[in-house]
Amino acid sequence: MSYRIGSGMDVHQLVEGRPLWLGGVLIPHSKGALGHSDADVLLHAICDALLGALSLGDIGTHFPDNDEKYKDIDSKVLLAKTYELVRAKKYSIVNIDSSLCLESPKIKKYSGQMKDVIAKILNISTDDISIKATTNEKMGFIGREEGLVAYATVLLQKEKESGER
């Protein structure tokens, strides 16, 4: 059985007048992430981790920010398309570990919803998804609430070929 590990990260500016999407969930907040798509840093980090595990490049390679068809696209669609690439290589997800780094809002009460959304897209159990959050202790661009960061690590497992034990 073959295993592959991938890591991903994403960062976006926070600005007024944009919705804040995290893990496929709309989070009430005075600022949202600025980006070509809906700028969901968590889903983007997971996409990059999945792509990286299989040496398939990065999210910008598959969904370039200069392509108008991805303008304001729902990142849940990007995650689903990324997962199709993983499935095409005959891999499945063992687990996902992720971290969000932002000063506010507190996301603990939304993490269950995020796990539900991600699990449904990736056809895995919510028990196989970890979403943690931390602040930057008021330091740097995150501490000043100018931006946010997400990190993700995934473990993939090659599916057994027919006749393989």
Domain that includes residue 92, residue range: 3-158
Q: pTM, whole model, 2 decimals? A: 0.95
Residue at 112 is within a domain: yes
Q: Specify the pLDDT at position 46.
A: 98
Single-letter code of the amino acid located at 158: K
Q: What is the mean pLDDT of residues 121-137?
A: 97
State the CATH number of the domain containing residue 79: 3.30.1330.50
* Residue 14 is assigned to a structural domain of this protein: yes
Domain contains 165: no
Residue 126 belongs to a domain: yes
Residue 86 lies in a domain: yes
Q: Report the alpha-carbon distance of residue 19 to residue 63 in Å, rounded.
A: 21
In a domain, 68, yes or no: yes
Question: Does residue 127 form part of some domain?
Answer: yes
Phi and psi for 25 in degrees, rounded to 5? -120, 135
Note whether residue 163 is domain-resident: no
Per-residue pLDDT of 28-76, as tens digits, reads 999 999 999 999 999 999 999 999 999 999 999 999 889 888 898 999 9
Q: What are the Cα distances from residue 71, in Å, to 26, 59, 78, 120, 136? A: 18, 14, 12, 24, 30
Question: Can you read off the two tokens belonging to residue 90?
Answer: 């005959």
pLDDT reported for residue 65:
87
pLDDT per position as a tens digit, 97-122: 999 999 999 999 999 999 999 999 99
Total number of domains constituting the chain = 1
Query: Is it the case that residue 164 has pLDDT exceeding 90?
Result: no
